[in-house]
Amino acid sequence: MGRRIWGCWQGVLSTALLYGSLALFTSILHNVFLLYYVETFVSVYKIDKISFWVGETVFLIWNSLNDPLFGWLSDRTFLSSPQAGSQITNPEVVLKRLKALSTNGPLFALSFLAFWVAWARPGLQFLLCLCLYDGFLTMVDLHHSALLADLAVSATDRTRLNFHCSVFSALGSFSVFLSYSFWDKEDFYSFRLFCVILAAFSIMGFFLVSQMLQRRFRKEVRPKQDEASALKELSVGHAPLTHPEKPVTIGQYLKQLSRHKNFMWFVSMNLIQVFHCHFNSNFFPLFLEHLLSDSISASTGSILLGISYIAPHLNNLYFLTLCQRYGVYQVIRWLFMLKLGLSVAMLLAGADHIYLLCVFIASNRVFTEGTCKLLKLVISDLVDEDFVVNRRQQAASALLFGMVALLTKPGQTFAPLIGTWLLCVYTGYDIFERDSVKDSVSGSRVASSSGNPPLRLGCFYLLVFVPITCALLQLVTWSRFTLHGRKLQGIKALRQGAQQGHLIDVKAI
């Protein structure tokens, strides 16, 4: 009876729906982590400043290195050219990634729980928790992202997969709203219980969905394995027609990647995008405080914050329909032009139009985050081009996603550093010495003895000039990216031709 119900569920749920649901089990935990982990260690566990910065520094290094490291460990066997009778089929690759998700997904949820119970000295616990959490998050994110390139080749199928991810990520964002009801620094019990429930739901979800997907793809692997074993029996006693090639080393792979011009232009654009996304996240509270706090209520501010978390996922659903019609390249280009146009309009309007400021602050973050969510589709196209140009045995999707992360994650660090430096240079306001500037703050305005502009005006210029600069640089770099239109169609046709008989039947998606 239980097996019949299990089989019935498998028949009803599509591959795209199951793939998208994996994003829910990640986002419900990660959104809560981003919002509360610093506050927990600073206000509840009372971590000292030196331990905090040491932990963040080690985390920065580990966060940058683990993506390509795990990608290399996962995909290094796919880098050599295909040999007769030794080709790995696409369903086998998908099964390998699903097994990794079924293991690392629950471990990711358990590492999330380690933040909310004091089990060691604050400095040591902070360091260990961050590294463990980010390690398992990277494994989950790498394999989930790689599946986008492995499950489908056509732009339509990949857009459908991404569409379901956006729907479930939007649902996962509601954990942020629920968390406000349980968060209390003085009484941590309710919040801990809430986190345990979230983690239990995530563990169960990762296990069940990955098992359902594994059963689905094992059906495709078995006939291909039988065919391969039959061919092997027929070739017994015959000398191999080709000599096996040596596996590609990491140095050779990096050399191949450095010659991949579209990859280099994409990474340049994406580095700026990552910087802008994290700049908006880091300075969103500061902009609310100094640009809007005197003019809007606290509830309006919380609504703006909520919109900035959920709207990017919902907005992405519309962007994906545009991608199906006009292509990802064109939609991203339009978003850069929109960012530039809105920022220039806000600059000309000035800082005194409060409602216009509210719309701009929210839309700036929504459109920027929306652009970030489309970039996985572009990386999947780069996976196809890398496969064709370098004649891979299999698409090294996890490794390429890891290399993109390695080269763009410095934008996360540059965002707060450059933002606070610009604010300090222009207004004299040091965000790390709030107590020393309280006496000189009046109505959210700071003026130094050297005649620097007030803090509110400095925040406004920071708000508009950063997106203007980012948009101009991105339009220049994106114009050099050539993997779109007919060239992209040709690359996809070549990949499908090279892996004929080894690709998954995308109609099942």
Is a pLDDT exceeding 70 seen at residue 55? Answer: yes
| Tokens 């050099």 sit on residue | 480
Q: What is the pLDDT of residue 139?
A: 93
Is a pLDDT exceeding 80 seen at residue 453? Answer: no
CA distance 430 to 213: 52
Is a pLDDT exceeding 60 seen at residue 234? Answer: no
Q: For the chain, first and last CA: distance in Å?
A: 27
Q: What is the pLDDT of residue 456?
A: 81
Which of the pair, 201 or 391, is modelled with greater confidence?
A: 201
Q: What is the pLDDT of residue 450?
A: 46
Q: Shortest CA distance to 358 belongs to which of 348, 367, 346?
A: 346
Using pLDDT thresholds of 50, 70 and 90, give the confidence band for residue 29.
very high
| Tokens 């908006």 sit on residue | 280
Of 57-61, 441-445, 473-477, the poorest mean pLDDT is in 441-445
Contact by Cβ (8 Å): 277, 372: yes
Q: What is the pLDDT of residue 507?
A: 45
Q: Which fold has domain 13-222+264-430+454-505?
A: Growth Hormone; Chain: A; (1.20.1250)
Is a pLDDT exceeding 90 seen at residue 365? Answer: no
CA distance 342 to 40: 37
How many CA atoms within 13 Å lie on the side-chain side of 309?
19
Q: Mind spelling out the 3-state secondary structure of 211-268?
A: HHHHHHHHHHHHHHHHHHHHHHHHCCCCCCCCCCCCCCCHHHHHHHHHCCHHHHHHHH
Helices (H), ranges, 390-485: 397-408, 410-427, 434-437, 455-478
Q: What is the pLDDT of residue 416?
A: 77
How many percent of the chain have pLDDT more than 70? Answer: 81
CA dihedral 474, 478, 479, 484 (to 10 degrees): -160
Residue 417: helix, strand or coil by DSSP? helix
Of 239-248, 320-329, 337-346, 399-408, the poorest mean pLDDT is in 239-248
Structural tokens at position 238: 């015959």
Q: What is the pLDDT of residue 113?
A: 94
Nearest 5°: phi and psi at 327?
Answer: 95, 150
| Tokens 């345990």 sit on residue | 196
CA distance 168 to 27: 8
Which of the pair, 333 or 244, is modelled with greater confidence?
A: 333
Is a pLDDT exceeding 80 seen at residue 307? Answer: no
Contact by Cβ (8 Å): 446, 308: no
CA distance 247 to 255: 14
What pairs with residue 468 in β-bridges? none
Q: What is the mean pLDDT of residues 251-276?
A: 92
Q: What is the mean pLDDT of residues 342-355?
A: 89
Round the CA-based radius of gyration of the chain to a whole number and report it: 25
Rounded alpha-carbon distances, angstroms, from residue 88 to 228, 395, 506: 10, 10, 18
Contact by Cβ (8 Å): 273, 249: no
Burial class (CB in 10 A: 0-12, 13-18, 19+), 410: middle
> Where is mean pLDDT largest: 315-324, 391-400, 467-476, 492-501?
467-476
Q: What is the pLDDT of residue 395?
A: 80
Around Cβ 472, how many Cβ atoms within 10 Å? 14
Spans of all domains in the chain: 13-222+264-430+454-505
CA distance 504 to 155: 15
> Where is mean pLDDT largest: 49-63, 79-93, 441-455, 494-508?
49-63
Using pLDDT thresholds of 50, 70 and 90, give the confidence band for residue 149.
confident
Contact by Cβ (8 Å): 368, 280: yes
Is a pLDDT exceeding 90 seen at residue 469? Answer: yes
Structural tokens at position 276: 């802008």
Secondary structure of the chain: what % helix, strand, coil (to 5)? Answer: 80, 0, 20
pLDDT tens by residue, 164-193: 998 898 888 888 778 877 888 888 889 999
